[in-house]
Chains A and B, each alone.
Chain A
Amino acid sequence: MAATQADLSAALVLTPVPPADWLVVLPVALPLLAGAVLTMLRRSVRLQAALAVPVLALVVLLDALLLAHVHGNGPVTMVMGRWLPPFGIAFTADLAGVLFALAAAVVALAGSVHALADIGDGERRYGFYPFLLLLVAGVTGAFLTGDVFNLYVWFEVLLISSFGLIVLGSEARQIDGAIRYAFLNLVATTLFLVATGYLYGLFGTLNMADIAVKAAERRADLPTMTLAALYLLAFGMKAAAFPVHFWLPASYHTPRVTVSALFAGLLTKVGVYALLRTLVMLFPVEREELSFVIALAGAATMLVGALGALGQSDIRRLLGYTVVSGIGVMLSGLALGSPGGVGGAIFYALHSMVVMTALYMAAGLAGRLSGTFDLNRLGGLHARSAFFSGLSLVLVFAVSGLPPFSGFWPKVMVTKAALDIGAWWLAAAILASGFLTTIAFARLFLLAWWRPAEGDLPAVEMPAGALLPLALLAVLALWFGLFPDALLSAVQSAAQGLADPSAYVRSVFPEVN
């Protein structure tokens, strides 16, 4: 450092950082560090889970503390390397981002516990837990970053770790699925990068708060519509929205079932979050203009997903289509854009993270207990274990959107928001897809659980460790169905925080307002 006395306060953060701000960075840095340490310790299979599970529990705790902090004090920002935004990369946690991050951490923790019973030593030696931790770092980073290019980097971190997870085991069908997954996701992230290049070319900045301010000022003379459309396509592909959803049902059933569960809970929701962040916060006017296209895509996604689920005999593929169907509801909420719509989309995303993960775990257990994933041959699971059957029934109701489970409230919010602006066809599509999903899952439950087994079930022990996370997630689904008040008000203020980012901007640029 040269000894000149230049005034650095214009470029650098010179005040000490309050310890609470570290909550923004630690949920990302901790899994990253732990993932790196576990990669070094790849040989010692025992240590892997013993280290990964507590670290993920700690990440859940940190995210919960961050949620409490953000709920009380508004968005929190920390810049990297003390450079002031927009020069330094900012990490900004607002309510929407933290809600997603907390749900992701809970899902990952459940997945890491489920893996104790499902993922064998071979896969652990290959690096299941390091990849899981890096995936969590990527996902959390994507939820908490306040910089568009940094969002791209976290997308890549989570994508590369998901590549590692999807080929875990190296069976021929996994390679087949991984090829579809990898190529199409690569195209999606490249589109995202193209859009980001244009964004930088237009605004000369990549900081989200800065863009939100500049877009509001200079919308009239910049081709922001192109940007919004590109982001819609890129993140729509990530989120598996119709008509770019085909990679998901082609690949999600191929990896280990714990990996499928984690993917269903974590990956597409990052796409949905990025859609909400860009289209609601950065380009609200453009979103308004695109809303009919988004609504059409949403309705088509819901119906195609639900119909696809009806036509599958492999229960894991059925679940893949159900993930797609849920994305449709979130897109509808995004298309509506009202606090009810966006809040409903956030609520549905959180619900879907928990419930789809749990359903994949249940499907994995069902497959393990009866030795097949084929609906034509499954049966007798209720007689096998009434507790497992009860948990599965909770999840079946929750995913169908029936009260009193967590899927009910977001659907009510989005449907009501649609009816409020007279979009009756969108409301009808939501209800119709809910109806079709109910049929698909009622049939699944009747056939696989209720129907007596044709022959004797294979004598497989019921793994208690695999039931524990399933029970935890099912309790969450029931809890937020019975007592939705806290979450309802949280998602509504999160939606308002996205629609009116002034608090977000103030947290990044405290001196402006």
Chain B
Amino acid sequence: MSTLILRTVAPFLTALMLLFSVFVLLRGHNEPGGGFIGGLIAASAFAVHGIANGVAAVRRALRFHPMAVSAFGLVLACLAGLLSVVFAVPFMTGLWIEPTVLGVTVPLSSVMLFDTGVYLVVVGAITSVALALEERDGD
């Protein structure tokens, strides 16, 4: 599997896919895209990295266990829902703030927090499955 060509291209490909996944995540706000599909792209990036450089390299690069990443995403999603307690609106209501940073209005919302949570859940879950299967391949 791991040819010279793949090993050479993999770092660029992984970086590009990760960047693209973030783009898709943020674009999902008002247009097609979103956390789920972005998470899938990011997980594929890690899978490519794993095929080229081995599973251990991916685990080192991730620093955290993929399941912990996934759980953190679930925590974010839950918190995004529970934020509505403070504002006396139903669970998971979209809440928006639009702070101005250096003259640029940045719309932030609990929806985006939730979507980021979904992104992390998908990245973590899919990566942990993919890495487990790639490890199996080796032995």
A touching B, CB within 8 angstroms:
yes
**From residue A435, how far is it (CB to closest CB) to chain B in Å?**
49
Are B92 and A81 within 8 A (Cβ)? yes
Query: Does A440 make an interface contact (CB < 8 A)?
Result: no
Are B91 and A25 within 8 A (Cβ)? yes
Given that A29-B78, A37-B75, A42-B65 are known contacts, is A13 also in contact with B89, CB under 8 Å in the complex?
A: yes
Are A36 and B72 within 8 A (Cβ)? yes
Are B68 and A42 within 8 A (Cβ)? yes
Q: Which listed segment binds A: B3-11, B40-48, B49-57, B80-88?
A: B80-88
Residues of A close to B78: CB separation below 8 A: 29, 32-33, 36
Q: Could you say which interface size class chain B belongs to?
A: 20 to 34
Rounded to whole angstroms, the CA-CA distance of A340 and B138 in the bound complex is 61
Residues of B close to A16: CB separation below 8 A: 88-89
Residues of A close to B68: CB separation below 8 A: 39-40, 42
Rounded to whole angstroms, the CA-CA distance of A249 and B79 in the bound complex is 40
Rounded to whole angstroms, the CA-CA distance of A88 and B89 in the bound complex is 14
Residues of B close to A37: CB separation below 8 A: 71, 75
Query: Does A292 make an interface contact (CB < 8 A)?
Result: no
Query: Does B96 make an interface contact (CB < 8 A)?
Result: yes
Residues of A close to B94: CB separation below 8 A: 81
Are A82 and B89 within 8 A (Cβ)? yes
Q: What 0/1 pattern do residues 23 to 52 of A give for CB contact below 8 A with B?
A: 001000100110111111010000000000
Query: Does A1 make an interface contact (CB < 8 A)?
Result: yes
Are A81 and B93 within 8 A (Cβ)? yes
Give the residues from 85 to 122 in chain B that come closer than 8 angstroms, CB to CB, to chain A: 85, 88-94, 96
Q: Which residue of B lies closest to A90 (CB)?
A: B90
Give the residues from 56 to 108 in chain A that come closer than 8 angstroms, CB to CB, to chain B: 78-82, 88, 91
Query: Does B127 make an interface contact (CB < 8 A)?
Result: no
Rounded to whole angstroms, the CA-CA distance of A513 and B68 in the bound complex is 48
Residues of A close to B72: CB separation below 8 A: 36, 40
Query: Does A424 make an interface contact (CB < 8 A)?
Result: no
**From residue A97, how far is it (CB to closest CB) to chain B in Å?**
17
Are A82 and B93 within 8 A (Cβ)? yes
**From residue A276, how far is it (CB to closest CB) to chain B in Å?**
25
Rounded to whole angstroms, the CA-CA distance of A91 and B90 in the bound complex is 11
Query: Does A425 make an interface contact (CB < 8 A)?
Result: no
Residues of B close to A81: CB separation below 8 A: 90-94
Query: Does B74 make an interface contact (CB < 8 A)?
Result: yes
**From residue A21, how far is it (CB to closest CB) to chain B in Å?**
8
Q: Which residue of A lies closest to B98 (CB)?
A: A1
Query: Does A22 make an interface contact (CB < 8 A)?
Result: yes
**From residue B68, how far is it (CB to closest CB) to chain A in Å?**
5
Are A17 and B67 within 8 A (Cβ)? no
Rounded to whole angstroms, the CA-CA distance of A393 and B25 in the bound complex is 59
Residues of B close to A42: CB separation below 8 A: 65, 67-68
Query: Does B21 make an interface contact (CB < 8 A)?
Result: no
Q: Which residue of A lies closest to B110 (CB)?
A: A81
**From residue B95, how far is it (CB to closest CB) to chain A in Å?**
10
Q: Which residue of A lies closest to B79 (CB)?
A: A33
Are B90 and A17 within 8 A (Cβ)? yes
Query: Does B14 make an interface contact (CB < 8 A)?
Result: no
Given that A1-B96, A22-B85, A36-B78 are known contacts, is A78 also in contact with B71, CB under 8 Å in the complex?
A: no
Rounded to whole angstroms, the CA-CA distance of A82 and B84 in the bound complex is 10
Are B90 and A40 within 8 A (Cβ)? no
Give the residues from 150 to 190 in chain A that come closer than 8 angstroms, CB to CB, to chain B: none
Are A80 and B71 within 8 A (Cβ)? no
Rounded to whole angstroms, the CA-CA distance of A42 and B71 in the bound complex is 10
Given that A29-B91, A79-B90, A81-B90 are known contacts, is A39 also in contact with B71, CB under 8 Å in the complex?
A: yes
Rounded to whole angstroms, the CA-CA distance of A38 and B84 in the bound complex is 23
Residues of A close to B91: CB separation below 8 A: 22, 25, 29, 78, 80-81, 91
Residues of A close to B67: CB separation below 8 A: 39, 42
Q: Which residue of A lies closest to B70 (CB)?
A: A39
Are B90 and A33 within 8 A (Cβ)? no
Q: Which residue of A lies closest to B93 (CB)?
A: A82
Rounded to whole angstroms, the CA-CA distance of A16 and B87 in the bound complex is 8
Residues of B close to A38: CB separation below 8 A: 71
Residues of B close to A32: CB separation below 8 A: 74, 78
**From residue B88, how far is it (CB to closest CB) to chain A in Å?**
4
Q: Which residue of A lies closest to B65 (CB)?
A: A42
Q: What 0/1 pattern do residues 174 to 211 of A give for CB contact below 8 A with B?
A: 00000000000000000000000000000000000000
Residues of B close to A130: CB separation below 8 A: 71
Residues of A close to B81: CB separation below 8 A: 25, 29
Given that A29-B81, A39-B68, A42-B68 are known contacts, is A17 also in contact with B75, CB under 8 Å in the complex?
A: no
Q: What 0/1 pattern do residues 219 to 230 of A give for CB contact below 8 A with B?
A: 000000000000
**From residue B124, how far is it (CB to closest CB) to chain A in Å?**
9
Most chain A CB atoms below 10 A, which of B78, B90, B91, B94: B90
Residues of B close to A82: CB separation below 8 A: 89-90, 93
Rounded to whole angstroms, the CA-CA distance of A25 and B85 in the bound complex is 11
Rounded to whole angstroms, the CA-CA distance of A289 and B90 in the bound complex is 40
Most chain B CB atoms below 10 A, which of A22, A25, A36, A38: A36
Rounded to whole angstroms, the CA-CA distance of A25 and B83 in the bound complex is 13
Out of A21, A40, A91, which one reaches B71, CB within 8 Å?
A: A40
Are A13 and B96 within 8 A (Cβ)? no
Out of A13, A19, A29, which one reaches B90, CB within 8 Å?
A: A13
Give the residues from 118 to 146 in chain A that come closer than 8 angstroms, CB to CB, to chain B: 130
Task: Name 29 interchain pairs, CB-CB below 8 A, sorted by A.
Answer: A19-B88, A22-B85, A25-B91, A29-B78, A29-B82, A32-B74, A32-B78, A33-B74, A35-B74, A36-B71, A36-B78, A37-B71, A38-B71, A39-B67, A39-B68, A39-B70, A40-B75, A42-B65, A42-B68, A79-B90, A80-B91, A81-B91, A81-B92, A81-B93, A81-B94, A82-B89, A82-B90, A82-B93, A88-B90
Q: A16-B88, A38-B71 are in contact. List 12 more A-B contacts (CB 8 A).
A: A1-B96, A13-B90, A16-B89, A22-B85, A25-B91, A33-B74, A33-B75, A36-B71, A36-B74, A79-B90, A91-B91, A130-B71
Per CB-CB distance, the 5 closest pairs between chain A and chain B, nearest first, are: A39-B71, A36-B74, A16-B88, A33-B78, A82-B93
